[in-house]
């Protein structure tokens, strides 16, 4: 797989650019759909596989946006062992 898509997705994740990631995913999905609909003697399976792999990278980036980092979780009072706030902070 191309390292380029991974770098693009990483940049969008760092920028917290959800819309850009969603647009990138939608574009790749359209490309895959169009390639799958083409009736030709050419074998497009490797191109379709590449695009599907890129979609998976974009989806992983979207998951990263939904997952709080350790620093954010700590700042919000979440321990690394539990998704519940620490008891000392929950009672304040």
Boundaries of every domain in the chain: 3-90
Question: In the 3-class helix/strand/coil scheme, how is 72-92 assigned residue by residue?
Answer: HHHHCCECCCCCCECHHHHCC
Residue showing tokens 């191109």: 47
Instruction: Please give the pLDDT value at position 76.
Output: 65
How far apart are the two ends of the chain, measured CA to CA in Å? 49
pTM of whole model > 0.75?
no
Q: Is the pLDDT of residue 30 over 90?
A: yes
Over residues 46-61, the pLDDT tens digits come to 999 999 999 999 999 9
């Amino acid at each position: 797989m191309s390292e380029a898509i991974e770098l693009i997705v990483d940049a969008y994740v760092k920028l917290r650019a959800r819309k850009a990631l969603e647009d990138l995913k939608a574009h790749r999905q359209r490309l895959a759909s169009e390639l799958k609909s083409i009736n030709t003697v050419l074998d497009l399976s490797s191109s379709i596989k590449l695009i599907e792999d890129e979609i998976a990278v974009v989806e992983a980036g979207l998951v990263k946006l939904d997952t709080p980092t350790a620093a954010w979780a700590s700042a919000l009072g979440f321990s690394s062992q539990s998704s519940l706030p620490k008891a000392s902070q929950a009672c304040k």
